């Protein structure tokens, strides 16, 4: 009986020892598991913080380009969905956590690519803006130079046009009798002689030039000669007393024109006006008694 009692005690001690050992093992396992769970929760919390930081970065990122903005909206939505999926996933689901870490890395890479694109486009836009401003300045300067050149050309053209006008000097009128002698007696006049010189002008057109003269009596009545001819001057049709065509070559050219068949002259001052088709050459007078 005593022997059985001793055996029972021994077994009891053994069982207690085993229980103590098992309790220690279980406590160790629980402690290790708790530490692992805490570590995984910390990793999840850190991953969550990284996602929130990326979400904030995406929210601050913007561009002036519709295509990139549309892509940004899509990536923002992916970040939001990833955060929601992480919230619903246990920290102990390491496979899912690692998957989310990879997706987070991908979204970070995509964001860096957006930043590079936006910076490149902004740089290009600034360059294009500067180029456009320079082009506008160049165009304005070219327009200004063109306008100045046009004004200069107009001024030169006006100067050339003014310089090309034929001018005369030495215009005079004298009366002659039937013997071809100069006279100032009205009763003996049979013709008037008009003299002038077309001055030298290299700018004037070369070639045939017709000179018209209009001789008027003291009452201002036109004296009709045997070589009357009409011509246009300043939009008005005039009738000449006589005219003559000469070959003008830019050098000084003397011109003599006669008004023949003159009779019944009266006492007073007779005048002459000389013209070409383009301009007036001057006036002169003579006195008959």
The domain segmentation of the chain, as residue ranges, is 2-120, 168-288
Q: Residue 222: which residues within 8 A CB-CB, separation 6 or more? A: 214, 215, 216, 239, 241
Give the C-alpha separation, 274 to 284, whole Å.
Answer: 9
Tell me how far apart the alpha carbons of residues 115 and 112 are, in angstroms, rounded to a whole number: 5
Indicate the average pLDDT of the chain: 84
Instruction: Indicate the pLDDT class of residue 173, thresholds 50, 70 and 90.
Output: very high
Rounded Cα gap, residues 261 and 191, in angstroms:
6
- Do 206 and 250 touch, CB atoms closer than 8 A? yes
pLDDT in tens, 93-150: 888 888 988 888 898 888 888 888 888 888 888 888 888 888 888 888 888 887 887 7
Sheet of 168-176, strand order: 182-183, 168-176, 191-198, 253-260
Phi, psi of 91 (to 5 degrees): -65, -25
Packing angle, helices 66-87 and 2-60, rounded to 10:
160
Q: What is the pLDDT of residue 194?
A: 96
Judge whether 227 and 194 are in contact, CB under 8 Å: no
Which percentage of the chain shows pLDDT scores above 70?
86
Collapsing DSSP to helix, strand or coil, 242 comes out as strand
Contact 253, 198 (CB under 8 A): yes
Mean pLDDT (whole number) for 158-172 = 76
Judged on CB neighbours under 10 Å (0-12, 13-18, 19+), 102 is: exposed
Asked if pLDDT for residue 184 goes beyond 60, the answer is yes
Out of 48-57, 60-69, 245-254, least confident range: 60-69
Instruction: Domain 168-288: give its CATH code.
Output: 2.60.40.2560
Please say if the pLDDT value at position 157 is more than 60. Answer: no
Q: What are phi and psi of 197, to 5 degrees?
A: -125, 125
Residues 36-64 have a mean pLDDT of 81
pLDDT value, residue 240: 94
pLDDT tens digit sequence for 16-37: 676 666 766 666 555 555 555 5
End-to-end CA distance of the chain: 197
The proportion of the chain whose per-residue pLDDT surpasses 90, expressed as a percent, equals: 33
Q: Is 167 exposed, middle or buried (0-12, 13-18, 19+ CB in 10 A)?
A: middle
260-281 mean pLDDT: 91
Q: What is the pLDDT of residue 162?
A: 55
Give the C-alpha separation, 102 to 85, whole Å.
Answer: 14
Say what the pLDDT of residue 224 is.
Answer: 83
In the predicted model, what is the mean pLDDT of residues 60-76?
84
pLDDT band for position 177 (cuts 50, 70, 90): very high
Alpha carbon distance 159, 46 (integer Å)? 88
Q: Is the pLDDT of residue 2 over 70?
A: no
Q: Is the pLDDT of residue 39 over 90?
A: no
> What are 222-260's pLDDT values in tens digits?
998 777 889 998 889 999 999 999 999 999 999 999 999
Give how far Cα 30 sits from Cα of 18, 21, 27, 92, Å: 18, 14, 5, 15
pTM above 0.75, yes or no: no
The total number of residues shown for the chain amounts to 289
């Amino acid at each position: 009986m005593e022997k059985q009692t001793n055996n029972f005690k021994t077994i009891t001690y053994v069982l207690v020892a085993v229980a103590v050992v098992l309790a220690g093992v279980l406590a160790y396992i629980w402690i290790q598991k708790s530490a692992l769970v805490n570590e995984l929760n910390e990793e999840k919390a850190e991953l969550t913080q990284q996602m929130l930081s990326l979400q904030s970065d995406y929210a601050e990122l913007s561009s002036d380009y519709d295509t990139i903005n549309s892509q940004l909206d899509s990536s923002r939505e992916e970040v939001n969905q990833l955060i929601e999926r992480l919230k619903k996933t246990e920290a102990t689901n390491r496979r899912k956590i690692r998957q989310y870490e990879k997706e987070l890395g991908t979204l970070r890479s995509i964001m860096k690519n957006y930043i590079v694109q936006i910076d490149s486009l902004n740089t290009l836009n600034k360059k294009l803006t500067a180029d456009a401003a320079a082009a506008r300045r160049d165009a304005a300067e070219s327009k200004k130079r063109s306008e100045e050149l046009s004004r200069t050309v107009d001024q030169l053209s006006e100067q050339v046009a003014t310089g090309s006008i034929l001018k005369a000097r030495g215009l005079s009128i004298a009366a002659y009798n039937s013997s071809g002698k100069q006279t100032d007696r009205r009763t003996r006049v049979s013709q008037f002689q008009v003299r002038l010189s077309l001055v030298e002008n290299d700018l004037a057109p070369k070639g045939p030039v017709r000179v018209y003269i209009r001789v008027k009596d003291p009452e201002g009545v036109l004296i009709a000669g045997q070589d009357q001819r009409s011509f246009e001057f300043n939009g008005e049709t005039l009738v000449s007393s006589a005219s003559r065509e000469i070959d003008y070559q830019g050098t000084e050219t003397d011109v003599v024109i006669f008004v023949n068949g003159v009779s019944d002259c009266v006492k007073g001052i007779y005048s002459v006006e000389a013209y070409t088709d383009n301009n007036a050459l001057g006036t002169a007078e003579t006195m008959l008694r």
